[in-house]
Structure 1
């Protein structure tokens, strides 16, 4: 095995192909609007539009539900027509959804708007990952996914700060401006895809009809053991991670640890900051290493994080509880996220045949969306029934499950798919060969 040389930001950008630089340039701006609106959407529906809280919560759930429904068809369309037109379709839906939501004064209009945003959420992940895989190759691809994740968090973090300073319930028009601003942020990536990247379709040539895997349905792909283990890992990562960020974490922090909403908000800010600052350090250390072992490290860090977080319930309302909440979200969890996002998308795309990348990325996306649905339901049920200890214990057990599934996956994939590179052969040895 050979470890690639460490790269700084300038070296990384210089090494990217022109198309990769254009794609990366739009990421933070696109997520800036999401950061401005996502934390405040349910507040907008409830306090500005006057929908009761139960209805507002159900409407918010439409984003995940619609996203899960459209992911499968999106993967098929990516493989057939290319990732670029699918991304453009999603961007059009997002622009329309935000414009409608800015003026939605009835539940039907709000549902239509959030459904359109769900379409974009469902197609963007598999299509974007598939498009990146067609323009960035080799070791640079894994690094790209890591930097992309850091920029996503930078955009969301900065957008959240802007939204928090700008949006005011006593001035309903600020919500309208925020949603229209979010719509505007989707225009830039659309212009890039229609202009500088109009030649990049993101569609691989199909192999001969009699070639292995020339045609594969989702059922056939899912029967592959390595894919099933990948799906299991994705569901667990999302259930224990993203499925708890906006549900179990704030609920436990407020009800059990008894910290203020300001502490919860600050923990999110620290989370984004750690991800942005640590990404290159992490990226350079995981390059050339087994990706499954990096996922094991993620599970280990998250396991410790959940234990630390659970212990805050023993000292509610104290300084120790505040430190524990911030340490969970801002340090342990952020570091685990950074490790995971540095390797998981690359693992998926290196596993996938070129002409089936859309379907593989759709399966990956669906597994995370499934966990994002399971996580809040699980947290809500257990915490509502006073089972906070059981909740923390299940999170820790889930981390053990990630370790077991990652080791099973390691035995099913090749070293190259797992991120290992062949050793460099010295020039003297080549000359003597």
Structure 2
């Protein structure tokens, strides 16, 4: 806490112990198993498109289109999912999504035909469409205030820890000449979905995300009313672009570029995801301390610049294929990109949830998820087309231009967002003691 010109301002400084002690019991349950839950996802995330293209023999552009089915399905179900979350609660919706995830991963493990793979990826997409708004609504119901932004950041670090460890294991285990190794990792991915199901049915069974509106409460509004708000509209557009050049490339564009252009090994691809995880886990708390109390839109500007540098590094790796320099470039790309992620993930979900109320939180998070999925749809498709046509330089150029667009959108968003949702604590006047009158001489 500090005083500036008679104005009291709160400066949040967090540490692991203080953060953990500040969490309610439900928040601790949510965080305690995140890394284990996402281990299975890490096993399959870097290698799904490699599995479809190199193991099952699908053309690269077809594999990219199949990968986009996850996001297409997610986009279709996320709107109804958000409404169902507000009406019936996140727990019921998440249980349906996790059941679809288990079925999809199991089916994909044995998919030898594009139609079978398509059905499997659609089922996985159902889970992706409801899990983002569902878990975000669950988190926002458990924690609030500045602790919420910190929670999103720490949760993101733990998610990446699980994914990174899974990527390391997968990189050393899978072999494109042994299809059964890929079958095993998809079955493990299915099994890890049982962990959040157990949490929802056990320790978190009493957590409610749906709330009956009070008689004097204003109408929460539907999707049309929410999306018409300038802050939501600009934020959603920024999210879409960030997903297109970011996570939309992690499952398709980056592995394909690394393998087909930079010509690195699958082990290097797996290690790159490990580097990504290490940077996030090591830097996330430090980044949270640095950005606490700062405008979230300014943090997004820095993130855009960092990501632009990362894509230029990957482009450089493609100029020296099948060399040690290319491998180093691929690893460096993931490290720099990860730093940008530590800036993005605590801010965007926190903005959406600070704009929302308890009565429409599911729909706000569904809009966030829809923007995410839309970017993830176009990302793999664009990557598959550009890389399949040998337009390697154009691919990198599109990514860098997208980073510049994010910067422009962040500036536009800052003019339309409330200060409270932008991470700026309203200053509180410190009452000044009245002057003590002089004591008259005796």
Structure 2 CA distance for aligned equivalents of residues 156 and 56 of structure 1: 22
The match for 2:411 among 398, 407, 414 is 407
| Corresponding residue of 1:118 | 125
2:296 maps to 1:288: no
* 8 Å Cα contact 1:296/1:406 also seen in 2: yes
Measure how far apart 1:286 and its partner are: 0.9
* 8 Å Cα contact 1:85/1:201 also seen in 2: no
> Structure 2: which 5+ residue stretches go unaligned?
1-7, 436-442
Measure how far apart 1:316 and its partner are: 4.8
Structure 2 CA distance for aligned equivalents of residues 146 and 43 of structure 1: 30
| Corresponding residue of 1:189 | 196
> Counterparts of 1:329-408 in structure 2 under 5 Å?
329-330=334-335, 332-408=336-412
Say how many residue pairs are matched: 427
Q: Cα gap change, 1:406/1:45 in structure 2, threshold over 3 Å: closer, same or farther?
A: closer
Structure 1 CA distance for aligned equivalents of residues 130 and 410 of structure 2: 26
> Cα deviations across residues 295-345 of structure 1 (Å, max 9, x unaligned)?
011011112223333344555555544433322221x21100110001111
Normalised TM-score (structure 2): 0.87
| Corresponding residue of 2:157 | 150
| Corresponding residue of 2:440 | none
Measure how far apart 1:109 and its partner are: 4.6
* 8 Å Cα contact 1:3/1:287 also seen in 2: no
Structure 2 CA distance for aligned equivalents of residues 297 and 97 of structure 1: 37
> Cα deviations across residues 204-259 of structure 1 (Å, max 9, x unaligned)?
33254x754x1422222211111110111001111111122233333444454454
2:267 maps to 1:234: no
Measure how far apart 1:178 and its partner are: 3.2
The match for 1:76 among 78, 83, 91 is 83
* 8 Å Cα contact 1:100/1:113 also seen in 2: yes
* 8 Å Cα contact 2:45/2:251 also seen in 1: no
* 8 Å Cα contact 1:250/1:264 also seen in 2: yes
* 8 Å Cα contact 1:51/1:107 also seen in 2: no
Structure 2 CA distance for aligned equivalents of residues 430 and 358 of structure 1: 43
**What is the root-mean-square deviation of aligned Cα atoms in Å?**
2.7
Structure 2 CA distance for aligned equivalents of residues 102 and 317 of structure 1: 30
Q: Cα gap change, 1:141/1:114 in structure 2, threshold over 3 Å: closer, same or farther?
A: same
| Corresponding residue of 1:134 | 141
* 8 Å Cα contact 2:168/2:273 also seen in 1: no
| Corresponding residue of 1:163 | 170
| Corresponding residue of 2:248 | 243
* 8 Å Cα contact 2:175/2:181 also seen in 1: yes
Structure 1 CA distance for aligned equivalents of residues 388 and 119 of structure 2: 30
Structure 2 CA distance for aligned equivalents of residues 325 and 197 of structure 1: 40
2:33 maps to 1:26: yes
Q: Cα gap change, 1:56/1:185 in structure 2, threshold over 3 Å: closer, same or farther?
A: same
Structure 1 CA distance for aligned equivalents of residues 326 and 257 of structure 2: 11
Q: Cα gap change, 1:399/1:168 in structure 2, threshold over 3 Å: closer, same or farther?
A: closer
Measure how far apart 1:98 and its partner are: 3.0
> Structure 1: which 5+ residue stretches go unaligned?
none
Q: Which runs of 4+ in 1 moved over 6 A?
A: none
Normalised TM-score (structure 1): 0.89
Q: Cα gap change, 1:345/1:104 in structure 2, threshold over 3 Å: closer, same or farther?
A: same
Report the structure, 1 or 2, having the larger helix content: 1
